Structure 1
Amino acid sequence: MEQEMKNIQENQHADQSKSAAIFKKSNRPVTLKFENVVYKIKLGKEGCFKNNSKSEEEKIILKGVSGIVSPGKMLTILGPSGSGKTTLLTGLGGRLVNGHLDGAITYSNKPFSNAMKRNTGFVTQDDVLYPHLTVSETLVFTALLRLPKTFTVVEKIMHAEAVITQLGLIKCKDSVVGGPLLRGISGGERKRVSIGQEMLINPSLLFLDEPTSGLDSTTALRILSTLRDLAKGGRTVVMTIHQPSSRLFYMFDKVLLLSEGNTLYFGRGEDAMGYFSRIGFSPLVAMNPSDFLLDLANGILSDDPRVLTDEPGEDPASIKQTLVTAFKTNLAENLKEQLQECDDHQIAEKFHEKKFKQWPNTWWQQFSVLFRRGMKERKHEYFSRLKVGQVLVLALMCGLLWWKSNNIQDQIGLLFFYTNFWEFFPMFQAIFTFPQERMMLEKERSSGMYRLSAYFMARTVGDLPMELVLPTIFTIVTYWMAGLKPAAWNFFSTLLALLYNVLVSQGLGLAIGAIIKDLKSATALGSVIMLSMTLVGGYFVQHVPSFIAWIKYVSITLYAYKLLLGSQFTGGETYLCGTNATCLVEDFPSIKTIGIGGKGISIVALAIMLLGYRFLAYVALMRIGVTKK
């Protein structure tokens, strides 16, 4: 990608007009209509003793909200915290997972579909970005994944460059995004990067949750101006916003004011103040319209000397109810007529499902981009100084403790430590894999960016070299210091058995992390499972009672330990068991119970676990984001 970026920069002036043309390409227009939208969610009561019939109470978040926004227009949803702004936006974007959504929501007279999903941009309030990627890399990788295969790689990169220019990110394009533990670009720049990811596809319908949150007024104005330009290009823009400045407020084509799930106003932004004045609510002095509307949505009148009302003694609940009734009396009927009169058949073109059944890119293209992105992002994590130092220090400590040991019991102890340590270390590392990427996976999968299978394979294959380097170094250091058999066959069979163990243990960690969302619960379960496997591995307890002996047949430790023993000891080999006395290795108590034969069974058993655990992880991930096509 670096070479491609250099080639682009060399031809930047020649291709500037082409880049701008790509960015300004119009998609098919969409008219969004929603009528009597009601959203209910059941809240479970906490406690150890729950009665299924009484433990849940239903809460109504949205109470019959209606509205319409046409192509070329910008709808802004205002309201105080808890009014239902984000819930409504998420519902309109087809991203509500829990609860029950009622009402009619149509997109050019059609229900939400895969065709619509892939032409919809959704910018969440929280910026979900990879911290170690630069701004340019973030947008280029997104362009490579989201833009269809009809675009060449060069065109996709130029498209990303055009978005960077459009959003004023040129100065920070080569800076890492950063995160809580890594210093990067500013919060406002992060927000613009998030918006840029959605702007890449020039969506027909763009949803934004608090796009100006954390931005200064000048930057916020620039963002809103960009969004207005996008809307003028035939796109439909819907956003929530928190206390915009007066300059921003008058840029809104339509405003929807919510209070506790009820509609208080729906209409043009410039008409809002006049409407409330006509029904008896107006400010005494000039003030920011959004501040005034939020005061009304909170039911605040008598506490603010700037506001006049005919009934100054009313409580907030009564004021809110008055405003809800006023909306139903004065505006609801007109809105209903607009919904009925809207004729979406007049729109030039409609979405044709057959054109959107295929993914934007081929499976191999998705895999290739995800693989490169994953390697760039995670190399810092896998080869951090702390992790490398931890492994090297422990390797040196083991080498010194087992220095040139020729005692068979000590050698067996080292092999069991190999098994045990390189089960716990990769398993716990893998447990954190999917929980840490869950938000990113939800965001990208809900946008129809790539197949789950491409992501899973890219993640699995990309982790292999990084997962196997540290155990290889550990083995090289300790093997020769401990004086194990120097023959090449013994060394490589020991190394391969250990790496096999690492891969199977990693698969177990991936499965646990994918199935259980809570990291504390996942690590607790992982500890219990791995300790149980260790106890029946044949080193601590050599004669496991028959009623619980079945556990050893599903133990990674038992099969991996057996392979490691077989890499160092063979049948008929002897050792010193007394003065001038030798005994067979297979008769040694710690080996006799395990045995040094049956390597094939161990290899097959571990192979089943290797594939089985990863299959469980994949099935668990299918619940994230969208249903697999």
Structure 2
Amino acid sequence: MAERAEEERVPLRCDVPLKQLNRIAKRAPVDIDFQDLTYSIRDSYTGKGWRHLLKSINGSFRSGELTAIMGPSGAGKSTLLNILAGYVTAGVKGSIRAEGRPRDLTTFKKLSAYIMQDDIVQPRLTVCEAVMFAARLKLGSEIQKSEKHEVVEEVIQLLGLEKCMNTRTEYLSGGQRKRLTVALELVNNPPVIFLDEPTTGLDNVAIKQCIELLHKITKHGRTVICTIHQPPASLFHYFDQVYVLAQGYCVFNGSPSQLVPFLSKASLPCPPTYTPADYIIELVQSQTDNITALSNTIQNGKINLIEKKKEETIICTKTAGIFEIQQDYTQTVTKNYDVFPISIWMQLVILLHRNFLQLKRNHSNIYIQFFHHLASGLLVGSIFFALGNDGSQTLSVFKYILSVNVFFMYTYVMVPVLTFPLEVRLMKREYFNRWYSLKAYYMCFTLSALPLMTVLSIMFLIIVYLLSSQPMDLDRFIWFSTLALAVGFCSQGLGYVIGSTFNITNGSVVGSSALAPLLALACYGMGYRSTIEPVMKVIMGLSYLRYGVVGLTITIFANREPMDCDEYYCHYRDPDLLLRDMGMLDENRPIQLYALIAFTIFFRILAYCTLKFQLTSELKNQIVYLAAKIVRQKD
């Protein structure tokens, strides 16, 4: 604890010039203006009408300044930040300009970084490794590896993370994790940085360090905009501009030092016993008259009571060497950055490197999966021990086939359902800040899961195959393993669909509920021979597990000599008789494999589309907005 406290008080380096970063990733400063900004959503309580969260507000946020968007809960702080960052677009009216020009969202996203409230970072990486992976993804391939290392060192030094460079991210304190999230977005020198509640969950020391950090970053010419509920009085002066919201209106816009005179002008003087930040929040807390008075006085943000920049700030930012005089801020995005700084294949290589490094260090996960497959293999093998060639236990062998299918179905559906939602939360930040394309990431987590899954599955299959004394035929075992793995890959795809759609709690319910009918359809009609209704055959075909059951049954029983029988009569001593009664005598083994492959491809494509919908909040918001608009027109 003492070491953590000592690390938490590492002084921030405000004098770091960032020479390498500014040389490699040149960015012109970007000012942001907005006029008559309105945002409306459908009223979820009544189902009718619209709620106006922002009401024709105005404002301007300048480069080289730290701006705090303040207000009570529900005032519209995060809404305004999401709109300015481009995270929300549907339902927005008014104009937003960057460097005096209408904001081009595609270009703007390449020049800005959005640090969300949840400071979740990639686990099982050191601070240095995490920042280096960010640099490799966000800086162009034309930049040498040594130069990227220099950039990483500069950023880590600026944020005071030197002493925890080799500390794994899961062992960082709250303040260190906040600084790391900033460092990850700083490596490509974005001129605009948005932060949603950066001080949430921090103690007083960490809050002071966080705000000091943001204040120092602005001295390198960046536009830093953050939401904050109520800053400590001792740190209020660190902000260059304060933008206060209440019930969707702007009630103050200007420097902290101008807040007291402004309140006096609005005939709401601040008592000497109050701090100005606390007093204005108390004034607008459900006080409609006060909100109207303050909003009228500031003209809903059109008036900006900000002091002139201090001369030393201008000198400091100029000496940093980052102000490239350009007529159009869009010129700061080079042709190489039209899509992503590096190709999709390079993204895949880097992401695979990161995933395999984390997988190798995740010992608990490897041990749990290993012992799960080992224990399950021994259990299933023991239950059906030495029954593989016993003609009196042919139906028990069929139950053994069902058990193998159920193992692969439940194991590889439920693991993504329980783990993937957390992965999506982390990916959401990286994807929005354009670290990589969704295609590269989707290929990465698909490929990175295959080696361990394949090895452990083969181990399970060898155990259950040998213990149950199945035919010692290499071709038969290869088909048995291939079909079982196909069931596993198909189940994993279904797990990704559920995991990308629901949170862990809802996904657990949906996952288990979806598997029950799939299992019922897989077993339906066993013993009916070929008398199953045509409609039911179509419905049964919707269960991918059915193809696994049929495929494994054919693999075990087809083309075999009569089984051993130590009793007076063994009805299913001839395996073909069982296949006939099960209606599988005319089934084709490759067809079952092709069907499983088709289901796997379908689930993977569906999971990708679902993930795309979840990550692209703009598309999701537009669909909801358009649907609500249609309903409003009908009303």
State the TM-score, normalizing by the size of structure 1: 0.83
Corresponding residue of 2:518: 533
Could you say what secondary structure the match of 2:479 adopts?
helix
Rounded Cα–Cα distance in structure 2 between residues aligned with 1:616 and 1:555: 16
Q: 1:557 is matched by which residue type in structure 2?
A: L
Corresponding residue of 2:358: 377
Aligned length: 573
Maintained 8 Å contact 1:382/1:466: no
1:250 aligns with 2:241: no
The structure 1 segments of at least 4 consecutive aligned residues displaced by more than 6 Å after TM superposition are none
Rounded Cα–Cα distance in structure 2 between residues aligned with 1:156 and 1:103: 40
CA offset digits 1:522-566 (Å, max 9, x no partner) = 444443443333223347733244432212223322222233233
With over 3 angstroms needed to count, the CA separation of the structure-2 counterparts of 1:591 and 1:519, relative to structure 1, is farther
| 1:381 shift after superposition | 7.9
Rounded Cα–Cα distance in structure 2 between residues aligned with 1:490 and 1:38: 67
Maintained 8 Å contact 1:443/1:625: no
| 1:332 shift after superposition | 3.9
Q: Among residues 581, 605, 614, which one is paired with 1:624 in the alignment? A: 614
1:388 aligns with 2:388: no
Rounded Cα–Cα distance in structure 1 between residues aligned with 2:17 and 2:65: 25
With over 3 angstroms needed to count, the CA separation of the structure-2 counterparts of 1:464 and 1:591, relative to structure 1, is farther
Where in structure 2 are the equivalents of 1:469-618 lying within 5 Å? Answer: 469-514=455-500, 516-538=501-523, 541-543=526-528, 544-571=532-559, 573-576=561-564, 579=568, 584-588=574-578, 592-595=582-585, 597-618=587-608
Corresponding residue of 2:349: 368
Higher RCO (C-alpha under 8 Å, 6+ residues apart): 2
Maintained 8 Å contact 1:29/1:236: yes
1:215 aligns with 2:207: no
> Which has the higher mean CA deviation after the structures are superposed, 560-569 or 496-505?
560-569
Corresponding residue of 2:185: 198
Could you say what secondary structure the match of 2:404 adopts?
helix
Q: Among residues 127, 131, 142, which one is paired with 2:134 in the alignment? A: 142
Corresponding residue of 1:306: none
With over 3 angstroms needed to count, the CA separation of the structure-2 counterparts of 1:491 and 1:383, relative to structure 1, is farther
| 1:502 shift after superposition | 0.8
| 1:91 shift after superposition | 0.8
| 1:460 shift after superposition | 0.5
> Which has the higher mean CA deviation after the structures are superposed, 252-261 or 320-329?
320-329
Corresponding residue of 1:399: 381
With over 3 angstroms needed to count, the CA separation of the structure-2 counterparts of 1:489 and 1:289, relative to structure 1, is same
Q: 1:42 is matched by which residue type in structure 2?
A: R
| 1:426 shift after superposition | 0.5
Maintained 8 Å contact 1:571/1:596: no
Maintained 8 Å contact 1:569/1:596: no
| 1:479 shift after superposition | 1.8
1:318 aligns with 2:306: no
Rounded Cα–Cα distance in structure 2 between residues aligned with 1:224 and 1:218: 10
Q: % of aligned pairs identical?
A: 26
With over 3 angstroms needed to count, the CA separation of the structure-2 counterparts of 1:540 and 1:139, relative to structure 1, is farther
Maintained 8 Å contact 1:121/1:206: yes
Corresponding residue of 2:625: none
> Which has the higher mean CA deviation after the structures are superposed, 447-456 or 583-592?
583-592
Where in structure 2 are the equivalents of 1:93-492 lying within 5 Å? Answer: 93-96=85-88, 100-108=91-99, 109-178=101-170, 184-285=171-272, 287-298=274-285, 316-328=287-299, 332=302, 348-352=327-331, 355=335, 356-378=337-359, 380=362, 383-405=365-387, 406-407=389-390, 408-492=394-478
With over 3 angstroms needed to count, the CA separation of the structure-2 counterparts of 1:576 and 1:245, relative to structure 1, is closer
With over 3 angstroms needed to count, the CA separation of the structure-2 counterparts of 1:376 and 1:70, relative to structure 1, is same
Rounded Cα–Cα distance in structure 2 between residues aligned with 1:334 and 1:533: 63
Maintained 8 Å contact 2:42/2:51: yes
CA offset digits 1:216-246 (Å, max 9, x no partner) = 4444344333333332322212122232234
Q: 1:103 is matched by which residue type in structure 2?
A: G
Could you say what secondary structure the match of 1:574 adopts?
coil
Corresponding residue of 1:51: none
- Structure 2: runs of 5 or more not aligned: 1-14, 309-323, 620-635
Maintained 8 Å contact 2:178/2:210: no
Alignment RMSD, CA only?
A: 3.0
Rounded Cα–Cα distance in structure 2 between residues aligned with 1:124 and 1:562: 49
Rounded Cα–Cα distance in structure 2 between residues aligned with 1:587 and 1:509: 36
Corresponding residue of 1:4: none
| 1:173 shift after superposition | 2.6
Maintained 8 Å contact 1:430/1:506: yes
Rounded Cα–Cα distance in structure 1 between residues aligned with 2:19 and 2:202: 29
| 1:335 shift after superposition | 8.0
With over 3 angstroms needed to count, the CA separation of the structure-2 counterparts of 1:519 and 1:595, relative to structure 1, is farther
Rounded Cα–Cα distance in structure 1 between residues aligned with 2:135 and 2:244: 35
Corresponding residue of 1:64: 56
Rounded Cα–Cα distance in structure 1 between residues aligned with 2:211 and 2:554: 68
Corresponding residue of 1:73: 65
Rounded Cα–Cα distance in structure 1 between residues aligned with 2:282 and 2:56: 22
